[in-house]
Amino acid sequence: MQNIEIARLFEELADLLELQGANAFRLRAYRNAARTLASLPEAVSELAESGAKSLQKIPGIGKDLAEKLVAVVETGELPQLEELRQQIPVGVVMMLRIPGIGPKKVAAIFNELGLTTLDQLREAAEMGQIAELKGFGARTATTILEGLDQVEQSAQRVYHADARPVVEQIIRSLQSLESVTQVSAAGSFRRCLETVGDLDVLVTSTDSAQAMDALAQHPLVEKVLARGETKQRVRLSPVFDGIKKLELDLRVVPDESYGAAMQYFTGSKEHNIVIRRRAQELGLKVNEYGVFRDQEYVAGRTEEDVYAALGLPFIAPELRENRREFELASAGTLPELITVDDVLGDLHMHTTATDGQASILEMAEAAKTRGLKYIAITDHSKRVTMANGLDSKRLRAHWKNIEKARSEISGIEILCGIECDILEDATMDLPDDVLAEADWVVAVLHYGLKQPRDQINKRLLTAIRNPHVSAIGHPSGRVIGKRPGADISFNEIFQAAADHGCMMEINAHRSRLDLDDVHAAAAKDFGIPIVVSTDAHSVHGFGELQNGINQARRAGLTRQDVANTRTFNEFQNLIR
């Protein structure tokens, strides 16, 4: 089993136990384990071969969890989860994803009304049955109806980061074939959208049948849906959460059409419309087979050739959304997009002082191993009680531990930081005299995200204008596909941030990616330095950085636009 499959089992187990009102610490243990396993570079199945004790070396994995992992690897099942699945239908679990209703309300919907699907829930809400439940009312019914649209829309999409190991494994297997000369993913996956639906893979091969046979027999493929001479459609196994079953198209194209096919099937639709229009203006035709003048083949072997035939430089896939890429390409000012290797620091992470799974030194060592030169330890402030947030006294003691850790490690700098909540009444969760002692303060919205725009803006402006706040973390507070972000007047917020020297974060966690690409691009236009940070809760969480860099690239950010690409001394000079 893949790590992501195992992680999803534990995530689902936590969801089902939450419906039954299980202990919060138990739920947190399962969710933390799922998060760790999903980002673990080593294969859990290989570690399990040495027994449960080897698995206990993974941060956050104790004896009980290790034994469960061994059982999963050996049998493909988690017995406790199988029992719960018999008791609670999949549709009820899906209800947990509706923004604004928690496990207690979902349990009431299931137990009192016997509803087991999202369709039944929608009908009950529209017929007034939900509003009549004790503790619900018309407002809750409206919240459910609004949230159902979002849940249903995301039901057949997965995070780009979750799809990545699946796509990469399939590509590696195809690359190993002697007949295959080129292979790459296309579509929304290649453009690095936050979530992806169906997947596209293109190959050139001297034996298309061999490539299709290899895909059909791949362990991640559940069923072949269609097959022709040059195209095959398969359904992937439900490796994500037991519900989503993505489909993948494999296309075998000739060498002379590979670049044209890559351009065509990468998209986006809006980008390609402009491409075809430009070709027509030049007396050319562009399709997945190449660039043609009447019947004469002009280009198509590489994407660079396709764009050059249209008088354009190569445009990076992440920029192909018909926003500003053609304007920049025509002017010769396409940005040199940031890469993950440009990042020298990570400025948002957690330790065992709150809800992290590793110590200060363990996080620092892991960051150093990944080539980072500096980090900021930013555990939660006291408002986040479920994460054991820090009050002033505990925070100061924590900072002393960070200072001690500095003397015990070389080759990496450690900043004393804090992720400080901006409270609902537009005050900070910690007093100014405490914040003044920090090296780095990330101010965030965690609660009250449904407040009116004026109050949300007031809260953000309070933090931005505070001289001790360094950056606004995950500014909208959204969770992709599960919780919409706060209603924010971004122009007003960005202007204030530019005026007061407050940075903005792209939170790289796969479920956040906040700022999104559009607002990150707008922040760049305001001249605001962006920080791309992982929000790591374990030593494996640093692997999330690539997600944030993908988002930064979609926003058109360069190395110069991102603050934590600077050396430590340069970064210190940048902090106001």
Output the pLDDT for position 434. 98
Nearest alpha-carbon partner for 334 in 109, 502, 45, 557: 557
Nearest alpha-carbon partner for 374 in 404, 409, 339, 400: 409
Identify residue 527 by its one-letter amino acid code.
G
Which SS3 state, helix, strand or coil, does residue 186 take?
Answer: coil
* CA 303/CA 281 separation, integer angstroms: 19
Asked whether 367 and 355 are in contact (CB, 8 A), the reply is: no
Which SS3 state, helix, strand or coil, does residue 238 take?
Answer: coil
| Angle between helical axes of 160-175 and 208-216 (0-180°, round to 10) | 130
What is the Cβ-side half-sphere exposure of residue 174, based on CA atoms within 13 angstroms? Answer: 30
In sequence order, which ranges of 51-100 are alpha helices (DSSP H)?
52-55, 63-75, 79-87, 90-95
Output the pLDDT for position 154. 60
Rg of the Cα atoms in the chain: 25
* CA 381/CA 385 separation, integer angstroms: 8
Task: Indicate the CATH number for domain 3-154.
Answer: 1.10.150.110
* CA 391/CA 528 separation, integer angstroms: 30
CATH topology for 158-331 is Beta Polymerase; domain 2 (3.30.460)
Cα 475–Cα 377–Cα 512 angle in degrees, nearest 5: 30
* CA 190/CA 31 separation, integer angstroms: 29
Output the pLDDT for position 208. 95
* Residue boundaries of the structural domains of the chain: 3-154, 158-331, 340-574
* CA 555/CA 553 separation, integer angstroms: 5
Outline where DSSP puts E strands in 197-294.
Answer: 199-205, 221-227, 231-236, 247-252, 285-287, 290-293
158-331 and 3-154 share a CATH fold: no
Identify residue 111 by its one-letter amino acid code.
N
Total count of residues recorded for the chain: 576
* CA 423/CA 428 separation, integer angstroms: 6
Nearest alpha-carbon partner for 189 in 173, 168, 172, 175: 168
Specify the pairing of strand 285-287 against strand 247-252: unpaired
Q: CA 262 → CA 34, 42, 187, 290, 459, distances in Å?
A: 35, 32, 9, 10, 45
CATH topology for 340-574 is TIM Barrel (3.20.20)
Nearest alpha-carbon partner for 571 in 493, 494, 471, 500: 471
**Consecutive 10-residue runs of the chain (576 residues): their mean pLDDT?**
79 86 84 80 80 84 89 86 86 81 86 89 91 88 84 74 92 96 97 94 96 95 93 82 75 97 95 95 96 96 98 98 94 97 98 95 97 98 93 98 97 98 98 98 96 96 98 95 87 96 97 95 96 96 96 98 98 88
Q: CA 101 → CA 106, 142, 224, 432, 456, distances in Å?
A: 7, 11, 38, 35, 21
